[in-house]
């Protein structure tokens, strides 16, 4: 049987220290 290929991770898992992203275009309402 064709082995189900593991796909690449859609997005790397955020580590515990990851902070909320700050979007380059606009002012962040934090």
Partner 1 sequence: LKDAPVSELHDLLCKKLQQCSIVFDFLDCVADLKGKEIKRAALNELVECVATNRGILIEPLYPEIIKMISVNIFRILPPSENPEFDPEEDEPNLEPSWPHLQLVYEFFLRFLESPDFQPSVAKRYIDQKFVLMLLELFDSEDPREREYLKTILHRVYGKFLGLRAYIRKQCNNIFLRFIYETEHFNGVAELLEILGSIINGFALPLKAEHKQFLVRVLIPLHSVKSLSIFHAQLAYCVVQFLEKDATLTEHVIRGLLKYWPKTCTQKEVMLLGEIEEILDVIEPSQFVKIQEPLFKQVARCIASPHFQVAERALYFWNNEYILSLVEDNCHGAPYHLRHALPRLQGALE
Minimum Å gap between C-beta 10 and partner 1 is 8
Minimum Å gap between C-beta 26 and partner 1 is 8
Q: How far apart are CA 23 and CA 5, in angstroms?
A: 34
Instruction: Tell me if 8 contacts partner 1 by CB under 8 A.
Output: yes
Instruction: Tell me if 24 contacts partner 1 by CB under 8 A.
Output: yes
Cα atoms in the 13 Å half-sphere on the side-chain side of 23: 6
The answer to whether the CB of 30 falls within 8 A of the CB of 20 is: yes
Residues near partner 1 (CB under 8 A) are: 5-9, 11-12, 15, 17-25, 27-28, 30
């Amino acid at each position: 049987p064709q082995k189900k290929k593991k796909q690449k991770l859609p997005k790397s898992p955020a580590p515990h220290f990851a902070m909320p992203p700050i979007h380059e275009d606009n002012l962040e309402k934090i």
